[in-house]
Amino acid sequence: MDSDKRKRRVERLKKEILGFALTLIIVPWLMVVILSVKNYKLSKTVREQTVLINQYLEETEMLASNAAVVIPTPVASEVVKEESNGPKRDVESMTEEEIKALALSDEELYDGYRKVYLTFDDGPSVNTEEILDILKEYDVKATFFVIYKEGRENEELYRRIVDEGHTLGMHSCSHVYSKIYASPEAFMEDTNTLRNFLYMVTGVESRFYRFPGGSSNKVSPVDMHTYAKLLKDEGIIYYDWNVSSQDATSIILSKDQIVYNSTCNLKNFKEAVILFHDTGSKVTTVEALPEIIEYIRSMDDTVILPISDETNPIQHISVD
């Protein structure tokens, strides 16, 4: 009996040891399989997200190859303009051309010139004041596509933009793609909220819009033509860009790189809308601005203008 008992115990022990050994082998393998599957799924998500991010960055900073920059300048037309803004003269003593120039808009006045539009997205920020100071120093008018920011200091910046003759454009309230582009209703609510806010603060009803990520962004779940059409129905013109300073990359570019990106291809454009960003981290954009303006001013028959109703819209997608 004893020997039988011992035998069974030995058998049971053997089985337990075998089971334990198998468990030791199987469990790690199972873990390997499970973790591999998880790893694969995760890598896939990372790859997809990377593609999305790259797409966005490309849209935002896109057109590096087209990069060009601003232009401005004067000569004959400017002389006429200065006179028109100068001391009052008897109309009878003016030439026919001078009288005509008085009634012309900037776009008409500089017909035939290369036109460069400096545009700043994402403000106001801690840099807006300095950007405005530089523009004032050079007597250059630009366009600011702003987001919704309450507070006395921000409101003063919106007003300063308008008071100093720059164009106030819209760039959504939050700049959060998932909210803005969630649906046509969400998009229009966002746009109207910003438009009303800016009107209350500045007295100006903005008619210009720049889509966060550009109209050719790949993040909107709704076809961007829908949003472009909605804006058009509201009398709002949307603007993309054809020259990028590329200052929205994750790495902060040097001042010289921004100057180069903004100016290298400018000569190839008759109308250049240059994309800059007005955010706290874009210090080198501010540093580059004087050189960019001076470069443009050194170009022949070139003027820097703010976007207006008469500006030819630079758009990545068409609206019918």
Which amino acid is present at 305? L
Q: Contact region for Zn ion (CB under 5 A) — 75-83, 115-123, 253-261, 290-298? A: 115-123
**Phi, psi angles (nearest 5°) of residue 307:** -65, 135
Q: Which is nearer to Zn ion, 236 or 303 (CB)?
A: 236
Site residues for Zn ion, 172-231, by CB under 5 A, read 212
Output the CA torsion sign for 128, 238, 168, 77. Answer: positive
Which one of residues 121, 190, 247, 278 is an interface residue with Zn ion (CB under 5 A)?
121
How many residues make contact with Zn ion (CB under 5 A)?
A: 3
Minimum CB separation of residue 146 from Zn ion in Å reads 10
Q: Are 209 and 169 in contact (CB under 8 A)?
A: yes
113 versus 145: smaller Cβ distance to Zn ion:
145
- Give least dist CB 211 to Zn ion, A: 9
Q: State yes or no: residue 240 binds Zn ion (CB under 5 A).
A: no
CA–CA separation, 169 vs 263, rounded Å? 23
Shorter beta-carbon distance to Zn ion: residue 113 or 177 = 177
Minimum Å gap between C-beta 145 and Zn ion is 7
Q: How far is the CB of 55 from Zn ion (least distance, A)?
A: 15
Least gap, CB of 275 to Zn ion (angstroms): 9
Region near Zn ion per CB under 5 A, out of 93-101, 119-127, 177-185, 292-300: 119-127
Q: How far is the CB of 111 from Zn ion (least distance, A)?
A: 31
Does position 122 bind Zn ion by CB under 5 A?
Answer: yes
Residue of closest CB approach to Zn ion: 121
278 makes contact with Zn ion (CB under 5 A): no
Smallest distance, Zn ion to C-beta of residue 279, A: 8
Which residue number, 77 or 127, has a Cβ lying nearer to Zn ion?
Answer: 127
Gap between the Cα atoms of 308 and 167, Å rounded: 7
Chain residues in the site for Zn ion (CB under 5 A): 121-122, 212
